[in-house]
Structure 1
Amino acid sequence: MKKAFITGITGQDGSYLAELLLGKGYEVHGLIRRSSTFNTDRIDHLYKDFHDPQARLYLHYGDLSVSGQMTDLLYEINPDEIYHLGAQSHVRVSFDMPEYTGDVTGLGTLRLLEAIRRTGIKARFYQASSSEMFGAAPPPQCEDTPFQPQSPYAAAKVYAYYIARNYRQAYNLFACNGILFNHESPRRGETFVTRKITRGATQIKLGLRDKLYLGNLEAKRDWGFAGDYVEAMWMMLQQDKADDFVIATGETHSVREFAEKVFALLDLDYQKHVEIDPRYFRPTEVDILLGDASKARRSLNWEPKVGFDELIGMMTSADLELAQREKTLLDAGYACNLNPHLG
């Protein structure tokens, strides 16, 4: 039985990846911070859904900011595959917490790679790189596009990208960078703009709030489904040779278009409910990200299965159910967080 170790297992990507690997019969180990103890809702179902004793899930306490913990954990688990998804991953937050972002997102990757080198385990390593690294680079962006990071988060990810490549070249580690463009799902964190829109719009639909506050509506992104993208992660570590791949849909849509479609699905006019709040603008904005995943299609035989409209429908439907439960609780006299400025 193969063993996998996932940092960031309680996040959106970590939960979908754990699901995928357990379904393939892996023994899955996840890194969890003490502060995430009460934030395991994305993976709680995995304990109930996978009764097969050949598919096991274990969680380990640890922190990417502590070097010794990573070395001890990897020596104990001795995984075949390591998926490094853990990071401070919110771009806007990285401007408020640049040092923390650099430590966890950048140096956290180095600590994990150094732990692999020191223990001598033969694990294959996946680094979750980001399209934000391209920043101001003109589209479309592919593996050969020069990076122009426009945030502390993006700069930290560029460091992590190059240190993974360095360990691949210097120590012959099987280390891959997956440069994933924006990928969303009903499990996306509520402070990210797509989920913020679907949560806000469905609450407005049920009369739980009246306004939704957003930042730059003209920013354009290449949005895919997280479930499709974690499959690409796994595919990268099954290759004969380690390499770096852009994972994207090849389509770009604006935040305004995303909001318009979500509100339209609910028979609402977004212009009547969406207001701009300058606090959500970044000090340096990334105007457009559009990925060219030709290499992944060719070498991995990967392609996205869920399209833009289907993704929006999936997220809106899930959040409408959530809003209906909130309304039921509110009507019963329970308070819930309906802050339109969330995020």
Structure 2
Amino acid sequence: MNRIATLLGLAAAGTVILWYGSVRLEDAANDIAAGYGLPTVVQGAVIAAVGSSMPELVSVLIATLVYGEFELGVGSIVGSAVFNLLAIPGLAVVIGGGIDTTRELVYKEALFYMLAVASLLLTFSLAVIYNPVTATDGLIRGDVSRQLALFPVALYGLYIFTQYLDVADEGRRVDTSVDMARAWLWFGIGLVAIVLGVEGLVRSAVGLGEAFGTPAFLWGMTVVAAGSSLPDAFVSIAAARADRPTVTLANVLGSNTFDLLICVPVGVLVAGTLTVNFAHIVPMMGFLVFATIVFFGISRTEMRLSLHEAWTLLVLYVAFVCWLILESLRVVSVLEF
């Protein structure tokens, strides 16, 4: 019991450090983008996405390279995406009031995000079909190669290209008041803090998996995912309270697109080849698809997220967490292990 309390304390400390680093890094990234006069597409699709998604990217790298737990990294990405879709908009509406959506957000950003979910699931499916791994436990596994990992990365390149076409005629404005040396310094400090915070979260997830005798990826979907997504939650809630609702949903969708198309493949590109268990991946991705459909349907109705719809999203996220708790206690066994 003492060990579990220690691990939960480590997760809490990691979350605090991660939050501090994320705030510093995102602020520094925005200053760097303004100082160099980068186009809006680069600021939004690259700088802002990298800043807000750095915790997820680091979680995949640490889980894969340090602990040999690629599925923990994937679980943290999927759990983070579910948190972003259900918890962040729900909290933003409950705390900040109703959120209006736009047709561009729903029909462009949301649809491209849905394509990102489908492409990642297709990548894992191709790994099982063309690179199957023989196992004695009867579970279906496959090796994700670097060639397969390049498929979602290429799709993200298409996403950036479509964003560029929308702002191709936009002028370039350089903010000369930005202290670039100071901005890069804070960027580095933020990155170091993120690495330390994520290390604490991943270590706690691995420890909790050992303590309960369950796979670490289950804890990655909750402990690591929620901890790494809290910075996005703070940004989105603040934007909703400041009457900038579009920023809230754009941040959610942009971050999820980057996580799925870049963060997960990066682990494969760095390690070379990584094995995935289809019995774990399909239920995880299946719930993400379900959450995406619910989010898209609610966002489309009257182009507004109401208080009633916000509570629907929050209840669905609580159901997601309860499912994972029941899996950890072996009450249900949708995720075979």
TM-score, with length taken from structure 1: 0.21
Greater share of helix residues, 1 or 2? 2
Q: Which has the higher strand share?
A: 1
Compute the TM-score of the two structures, normalised by the length of structure 2.
0.21
